[in-house]
Amino acid sequence: SDVRIKFVYSDTYDSTGDSGYAWGCLIDNVNLTGVEAVPPWAELIDPYTSESLDMAFVITGEPKGTVHNLDTDEWFTTIQKAIDDPDTADGHTIEVYLPMPEVFPSGKYEENVNVYKELTLVANATEATTFPYVVIDGGQAGPCITINANNVNIIGFELINGTDGVSSPGTTGSVIQNCNIHDNLNTGLYLESTMGLVIQDCRIYDNLDAGIHLESSDGNLISGCEIYNNDHVGIHLLSANDNVIEGCEFYGHHWDFGGGAFGAGVDVESSVGNDIHDNIFYDNDEGVRLWYNNDINYINFNIFGRWCEEPGIAIHNYDDVIPDARYNWYAQDNGPSGDIPDAITGRMANGYGSAVIGNLNFDPWRGIDAFIDVSSTAALVGDPITFDASNSFHYDITGTPVDDILYEWNLGNGEYKFSEMFGYPYSEPGIYKVKLSARAPDSILDEDNGVLYDTATVYITISAAGAPLEADASPDMIEGYSGNGYTGAVDEPVQFYGIATGGLPPYTYHWEFGDGTTSDEQNPLHIYRTPGQYNVALTVTDSEGNTDSDVTFAVVKAADEPVTGVEICCVKGGFGVKATINNTEATPIDWEINVTGGFILFGGHANGTIPAETTETVSSGFMLGFGKVDIHICAGTVCKDATGFLLGPFVLGVTET
């Protein structure tokens, strides 16, 4: 007959009434012998769905073990006993099941495992789906696992509560795969003088120092790991060279050190030749930090930040050595912020994405950049000026340049051009704001609109012959600038603008910043090292040697003074119009969205209030209509404009103007 049998392995069917592990199975056509009798124990407590039992067994005697050497077919009750057994030799595989309650009532292997043979340790928790991992608890008495042999494989464990999750002093060729390593006193993994180790598909989090610390360890691979919420940094490379970090996700690393935010996804210190590529960084004080490095490191094809989140610091280089940081994506169409020039090409980091700081080769990035070259920023009436956008670029997700940019030039006098390069003479004197808009289709990088968009602006001064030379050190017509002096913070770049009219172009410019330094650029960036108010002077010289000067000032705050203000970012379409507003002011602000133009049947206006020191995403709400629309968004005194196309309830192709 068919028999349904329950096998019970546990020592807990006693006066406590607690349940252990139980399995049920159906065995076909069993012939039973012996005398039928009632089982000599109380009714079984089953943690799973009760079933009708034909027979039941209680296993008594000395436990066989839950740690199995597959090569010798020997069983052990602890992992260390299996390693120490004289029959266990290099090359053996030890399979570790959930521990016996008789040996480890906590359900965790409470051991500090020392692997001094070339072994493979494989965790197998499949016999109880409520326990997804075999856990080794180091009890804060030492590392959960210490690797003291070469070519050791650690697969599928959860490592907790050790001084470190894994320690590897002076070994080579080991693999740590598919492990959860968390809540250890120091690091998740501490590797010293370790070579050729692979850490793959692990989750490393909530450790009290670093997720992974590599010291004097070269040629290691960290791949496909999720590394997050460690107290200081995700990975610390210290005198560690030629390591590869790829396909990992880093987030939640914040560390208040000496009054500053010093957490990092990856901290590269006194290390060279490391390749950090195809990773994702967000919500860290800094994505990648480099310091005390005397040769190049590589930071390519990474993603820094997330769309419509306040941008943080992507890469911060404290060294004179220039890292290769090309082909990264900064979560915004137009690349990184930071207002610094690329250390090799000079292209500015003036996008809306996560910031880059220090000497870096970050050009090009994945995304778009609108770039204007002009033959001159000043001319007389009727003299042609050449406008050239050929240094603009679009790089796709693979880092490949794509020749698909559409250009629109607004010449500031009501005329438009759509060529990449052209010559144009102005017929009237004045100061003209020339704006280049560049668009490129890319549904992978820009999942929202499917179009990358960026703008660039240049100011052209056109003078009548014989007009006197005039210099302006704080021109109020510059977009985004008040014309009333300059403000900034210590150790952060301040953008200055210079305009000249009259005389005989071209002009030369000379700035004196009030701190003993100078610049001969027309629109220089300058960094002040101490707070205070500085008198700034601009002297302009025309081609005949005539000069004129203008003075302004710069107010520089201490680095730790809070920066307040309102920012509107991430204007998006879809079901209505949405925008993210960051209010860092100490008081609430009112916001308003107005959508006009086209044929709007319903909606198009929304307003509200954002509390102090709050970031919110606001929406126009439901709209219905058809046609090209203009979008105007204001928050407090800050406004932003965009255009789009309204198709029924959807707003498509939203681009900021």
pLDDT computed for residue 306 by the predictor: 85
| pLDDT reported for residue 137 | 98
Confidence of residue 480 (pLDDT cuts 50, 70, 90): low
Residue 27 confidence class, pLDDT cut points 50, 70, 90: very low
Report, as an integer, the average pLDDT of 393-416: 96
Region 204-226 average pLDDT: 98
What are the pLDDT digits (tens) for 416-452? 999 999 999 999 999 999 999 999 999 898 877 788 9
Q: What mean pLDDT comes out for the span 446-470?
A: 90
Check residues 441 and 566 and name the one with the higher pLDDT. 441
Q: Which residues contact 105 (CB under 8 A, 6 or more apart)?
A: none
Most confidently modeled of 92-106, 381-395, 586-600? 381-395
Q: Which residues contact 235 (CB under 8 A, 6 or more apart)?
A: 210, 211, 212, 213, 214, 222, 227, 245, 250, 265, 266, 267
Does residue 25 have a pLDDT over 90?
no
Cα–Cα dist 606/595, whole Å: 9
pLDDT for residue 362: 98
**Where residue 309 falls among pLDDT bands split at 50, 70, 90?**
confident
More confident: 138 or 576? 138
Q: Given pLDDT bands bounded at 50, 70 and 90, which one contains residue 23?
A: very low
Residue type, 42: A
Rounded-to-5 percentages of helix, strand, coil across the chain: 0, 50, 50
Weakest mean pLDDT among 194-203, 382-391, 591-600: 591-600
What per-residue confidence (pLDDT) applies to 566?
82
36 has a pLDDT exceeding 70 = no
Q: What integer pLDDT is reported at residue 616 of this predicted model?
A: 86
Give the predicted TM-score (pTM) of the model. 0.81
The Cα–Cα gap between 401 and 391 comes to 12
Is the predicted pLDDT of residue 269 greater than 90, yes or no? yes
Per cent of the chain over pLDDT 90 is: 69
For range 510-526, the mean pLDDT: 95
Mean model confidence pLDDT for the chain: 88
pLDDT at 493: 87
| Mean local confidence (pLDDT), 399-417 | 96
In this structure, what DSSP letter does residue 253 have? -
In angstroms, rounded to a whole number, what is the distance separating the alpha carbons of residues 274 and 268? 9
> Which domains, ranges and CATH numbers included, belong to the chain?
1-61 (no CATH), 138-365 (2.160.20.10), 369-463 (2.60.40.10), 470-557 (2.60.40.10), 566-656 (2.60.40)
Q: What is the mean predicted confidence (pLDDT) over 409-417?
A: 96
Q: Tell me, what's the pLDDT at 449?
A: 74
Q: Span 507-533, mean pLDDT?
A: 95
Per-residue confidence band for 4, with pLDDT thresholds at 50, 70 and 90 = very low
Region of residue 413 (phi > 0: left; psi between -120 and 50: alpha; otherwise: beta): alpha
pLDDT of residue 141: 97
